[in-house]
Chain A
Amino acid sequence: MSKPTALSIGIQRGKLEIKQFMRQRESVVFTMLFPLILLAIFGSVFSNSIAEGVTFSQYFVAGMIASGLVNTGFQQLAIMIPMEREFGTLKRLRGTPMPASSYFIGKAILVTLSMLVQVFLLLAAGVIFFGVNLPQSADKWLLLLALLVLGSACSTVLGIAFSNVPKSGRGASAVVSPVVIVLQFFSGVFFIFTDLPQWMQQVAAIFPLKWMTQGARSVFLPDSFATREVAGNWETGRTFAIITAWLVVGLIWAVRSFKWERD
């Protein structure tokens, strides 16, 4: 029998997390189908063009992909981990030789897979039903990839960190979901960001979702649209810097506050 390593156990945990996820119908529906339902509603209600060659659906899909990073990472983990804490899953794991890192590797695998599936579903539905245009250049695809990797990592560590905020597993969804929904409204997912009141824009600029949506727009919208952003350009450098800063904050917060048991 070869010695188990943190990585090999982490991969085993990832498989198990996915298996459990697939068997929970509510989580599949809530995490995967809900964004598609939103896309269907918003795409049908707002069928107008918002600029030369840019439909609302195009704008909205960019925003929903950024939201997808938040849903599959932050929201999923900040609801799931408090429940595992309440059910004793975490305490039981703590009592085994499983390295703590394996648990987080497993979660990262679950988030990555559900994020990829979600992005794929949104793009497929957008292209098929709402005439959304896919990026045309390799540069844009590369930018998308970088955004997904960094954004998902940021969202994951913040979800792990925030999992210590809800006081109970049952109450977690009530604490976490409003945070996400408010951020979505403030960050220009459901509305054109520049149409929002100034103060809302300024609050949103503190949090990473605003930057993720802006980054996603820089991938999916024509470069001509950049002049209509707040700064008059895509601010790609600043976007990545702010998401990275949140990743670091989340990492420190998560490491310092993570608890395996309820108090």
Chain B
Amino acid sequence: MSTVISVSGLRKSYGSTHAVDGLDLTIEQGEIFALLGPNGAGKTTTVEILEGFRDRDGGEVKVLGFDPATKGRTGQIWRDRIGIVLQSTADAGDLTVYESVSHFATYYENPKDPREVIELVGLSEKSDALGRTLSGGQRRRLDVALGIIGSPELIFLDEPTTGFDPEARRAFWQLIRKLRDEGATILLTTHYLDEAEALADRVAVINRGKIIEISTPALLGGRATSLATVSWRDGNELRSEKSANPTQLVAQLSSQFGGEVPELNVKRASLEDIYLEMIGGTYE
């Protein structure tokens, strides 16, 4: 396993605002890594520094072994190895899907076959349609096609499924997993906690310019060991109890009711509950 992104002590200020305030992060090859955080937490600034769009004020950053602030020919060699899918764009409306994708292929040393990429993102039937005739979801898939045409080792995905219907999101997640299975590392930012849970190997929660925690979705914020809430109906009354040993409690209830427990429900904190608690905790 080699390290694809390493960040230590990253700092960036705008005036007197510390957008990123001593951030550390390591992302390994082949991971799908999700960056979570409320608006204004420093997420976008961090990602844009990693993408080479913004300069930093301090700290060490290496992306695929290069400093993303590198310009010129070396910068181009580095850009040849990464793919960036930005937030919603609306450009190239007067070009067909195929024209856009095959044109972007000319920028790279080892591009994928444009037809294959269009097929991969599920736009084959729209190959000859103009960009401006695409739906929001199709438009997003074109963005992804343009981001991956250069066979990138590292892909940045910024809120990739905003505005998707549930079915399109599932299809999109499959696509992301497929790219990872082909060996790419993926850094994802998203507002959807279920998306992070479904896709990410690890998630980082960022707030006020710092990483609060890095963990797997299942373990984040002590989620796996948090108390479970067991609820059931007792006569006319709905009852619930928080328990560290829910299995034991259910067994107890089962013998008490002589089998089936009416309206039994065992619920653990969702990723969203944990996340809201985490970012809420830092707002005094």
Q: Mark B108-123, 1 if CB is under 8 A from A, else 0.
A: 1111000000000000
Chain A residues within an 8 Å CB radius of B79: 95-97
Contact of A3 among B53, B90, B109 (CB under 8 A): B109
| Cβ–Cβ contact A92 & B91, under 8 A | yes
Asked if B219 is at the interface of the complex by the 8 Å CB criterion, the answer is no
How many whole Å from B55's CB to the nearest CB in chain A? 13
How many whole Å from A21's CB to the nearest CB in chain B? 9
Nearest chain-B residue to A23 (Cβ)?
B94
Nearest chain-B residue to A261 (Cβ)?
B53
| Cβ–Cβ contact B84 & A95, under 8 A | yes
Chain A residues within an 8 Å CB radius of B80: 97
Measured CA separation A92–B88 after assembly (Å) = 11
| Cβ–Cβ contact A96 & B86, under 8 A | no
Interface range, A side:
20 to 34
Measured CA separation A3–B108 after assembly (Å) = 8
Main secondary structure of the interface of B (DSSP, over half): loop
A-B contact count, CB below 8 Å?
71
Measured CA separation A89–B104 after assembly (Å) = 12
Given contacts A16-B95, A95-B84, A99-B76, contact A88 B51 (CB under 8 A): no
| Cβ–Cβ contact B95 & A96, under 8 A | no
Q: Mark A95-117, 1 if CB is under 8 A from B, else 0.
A: 11111000000000000000000
Asked if A20 is at the interface of the complex by the 8 Å CB criterion, the answer is yes
| Cβ–Cβ contact B109 & A4, under 8 A | yes
Contact of B53 among A87, A95, A96, A99 (CB under 8 A): A95
How many whole Å from B8's CB to the nearest CB in chain A? 24
Measured CA separation A13–B52 after assembly (Å) = 23
Chain B residues within an 8 Å CB radius of A16: 95, 99, 103
How many whole Å from B119's CB to the nearest CB in chain A? 20
Contact of A95 among B51, B90, B99, B108 (CB under 8 A): B51
A-B contact pairs, 11 of them (CB 8 A): A9-B106, A12-B103, A13-B103, A19-B99, A20-B92, A23-B130, A87-B89, A89-B91, A91-B86, A97-B77, A97-B107
Residues of B at the A interface (CB closer than 8 Å) are 51-53, 76-77, 79-80, 82, 84, 86, 88-92, 94-95, 99, 103-104, 106-111, 130, 146, 150
